[in-house]
Amino acid sequence: MKLRDVAIGANASMYKRMQFRRIQGVYYPKSEAELLDALRHAHEKGYDVTAKGAGSGLSGACTGGNRERVMISSLHLTNVNSISLEGRFADVGPGATPNEINEKLRPLGLRFFVAPSSRDVATVAGLVSTDGGGNDTWANGTMRDNTVSVRLITHAGDILEVDREGVRSDNEELQENLNRVGMTLDDVASSHGTLGFIAEVRVAIKPIVEEKTAGALVEFEDYDAMGAGLLQTIDRKCPVRYGEAVVMAHEDVREGLNPPLLILEFPHDFEMEFCNADVKKLTRNDLTRLQDLRLKLPKRNPNVGIQVALFEGYGLHGDSLEHMGRTIHEIDDVLRSNGMEPFAKYGHAPSKWYLGDNTPAFGLIMHSREIKPEGKTGPEIYQAVEEIVKKCDELGVTPKPEHKWIYSDDAKKKRLLELRAIMGDSFNSFIFESDCASQTLSTMV
């Protein structure tokens, strides 16, 4: 069996062009004892460790970087180990998916409220590592908001229990040093597997509440009007249960939509109002149809050319949302200067994510698709990605907010380096390399 045959998981998207010569072993532990054995081997040999979940993330971190390493998969560590009805939490293995967890909780009338589009394959440890979420983060928060604590194992085999208050460990010196610098669950969230292997996650669970809801289609005159409408929704803390945006769509796939628009679901007795917008109430069938149409939008190609996801996400918030027209036009200028033709923009709104300093951000998580130019190489297209990241920084946009493109987030990188100086630096060096493993990333665009 070739190494490339076992290095992939439920989703192989990150493994098309990996540097397999760097991988010195792949482990699929079925227990914590086997996990510790794998880490012990890596520690004795001096190999880096790359933790691997489903591979459904889009940041590239699970490719591992340039050092010699072993990969440790969580895909056999899927048990729901315990459920506390009184404490309203469940202890689950790192490879469990939201769907698998909720299958166990449903008979109890409970639910784990994190629902990314990849919830059938994304692992909870991967969701912690990227602080993932879905189109319900406005209502239910991101993964960190739904995590009570994590069991984290270092390269040297020390076991840490990390929650919102701090760190507990049998290694008293390590515990003291990490608590001295204030390590908490916020540090593990969006750390991209750089601190240790997440061996167990204690997730928050809540009762399933049946609620009568209503739907609305909100059409705006232009981008600035949409930005103002979203800011209004955020300021009023509107109880939106589901929010999707179609910012723009190519005429080949528009299917009667009139973007920019929002598709919203909210409590039946709440009166949804917007200034300078056309609000149309939706029947349940109409709401379902529009939700389905939005989901299928990025899966369609134009009549001429092929679409590509040059850069998966933009987090518009604050000033970039207030001046949404300028934000969109400047991003489109960068795309067109690199031969890309904007094809579709859509995403979650209103939504929530966290910045690198752990400040919550609220706004629009906008995905983008383009018609790609013919004849350009991966490295040439990746150059456009680097220009997009620079433009995002100029505009106050969070690059890839759902998958935490932290390579340009100096605050997060500085904090991770501080912790790695205490814990060891042999877990997933990907984001700390001078070229950020761009040779690998350039094959993924």
> According to the CATH classification, is domain 213-406 in 3.40.462.10?
yes
The pLDDT confidence band at residue 99, using thresholds 50, 70 and 90, is very high
Whether the per-residue pLDDT at 1 is higher than 60: the answer is no
- What tokens does 225 get? 């009007």
Predicted local confidence at residue 15, as pLDDT: 44
Over range 424-430, report the average pLDDT.
89
DSSP character string of 399-445: ESTTTT-GGG-HHHHHHHHHHHHHH-S-B--GGGSTTTTHHHHTT--
The residue type at 47: Y
Range of weakest confidence among 105-114, 184-193, 263-272, 404-413: 404-413
Give me the phi and psi of 97, to 5 degrees please: -100, 160
Element (H, E) at 257: none
Q: Specify the CATH architecture of the domain 3-73.
A: 2-Layer Sandwich (3.30)
Mean pLDDT over the full length of the chain: 88
Whether the per-residue pLDDT at 403 is higher than 90: the answer is no
pLDDT tens profile 4-62: 445 554 444 444 445 667 788 889 999 999 999 999 999 999 999 999 887 776 666 66
Topology (CATH) of 80-208+415-421: 3.30.465
pLDDT tens profile 187-218: 999 999 999 999 999 999 999 988 999 999 99
pLDDT tens profile 235-294: 999 999 989 999 999 988 888 889 999 999 999 999 888 877 889 999 999 999 988 888
**Percent of the chain with pLDDT strictly greater than 70:** 90
Element (H, E) at 218: strand 213-220
Dihedral sign for Cα atoms in the order 190, 193, 195, 201: positive
d(CA 25, CA 48): 11
Predicted local confidence at residue 297, as pLDDT: 80
Over range 100-110, report the average pLDDT.
96
Task: Count the neighbouring beta carbons within 10 Å of the beta carbon of residue 166.
Answer: 15
Q: Do 182 and 164 meet the contact criterion of CB atoms below 8 Å apart? A: no
Q: What angle do CA 303, 349, 407 make, to 5 degrees?
A: 85
DSSP character string of 294-344: HHHGGGPPPSSS-EE-SS-EEEEETHHHHTHHHHHHHHHHHHHHTT-EEEE
Residue owning tokens 């919102």? 164
In the chain, domain spans: 3-73, 80-208+415-421, 213-406
